[in-house]
Amino acid sequence: MSDEVEPRREEAPFVADGLAAGAYNEEGVDLTLIRMFLRLTPAERLDEASSSANGIEELRALQIPASR
């Protein structure tokens, strides 16, 4: 018997949400991302933002400088 427990719906991955009707508002904003971040605690949101910023810095470090 496995110790794994199925995640509750509110903890499940958000992939399918983006495919559902009403996933985007009239301005084209992906509401699933907003819902995802609102489910996180402030500390978790900060961790996500920090991770994204670190990823951007890593990508910038890989860029080849343009010749002038």
Q: Which domain holds residue 39?
A: 9-62
- Asked whether residue 68 is assigned to any structural domain, the reply reads no
Integer distance in angstroms from the first to the last C-alpha of the chain? 64
- The pLDDT score that the predictor gives to residue 64 is 80
- Asked whether residue 27 is assigned to any structural domain, the reply reads yes
- Distance from C-alpha of 31 to C-alpha of 37, rounded to nearest angstrom: 10
- The pLDDT score that the predictor gives to residue 40 is 95
- The pLDDT score that the predictor gives to residue 68 is 60
Q: How many domains does the chain have?
A: 1
pLDDT by residue for the chain (68 residues), tens only, comes to: 555 555 455 554 454 444 566 788 888 888 888 899 999 999 999 999 999 999 999 999 998 877 66
pTM for this structure?
A: 0.52
- Asked whether residue 40 is assigned to any structural domain, the reply reads yes
Beta-carbon contacts of residue 14 (< 8 Å; ≥ 6 apart): 32, 33, 35, 36
- The pLDDT score that the predictor gives to residue 18 is 47
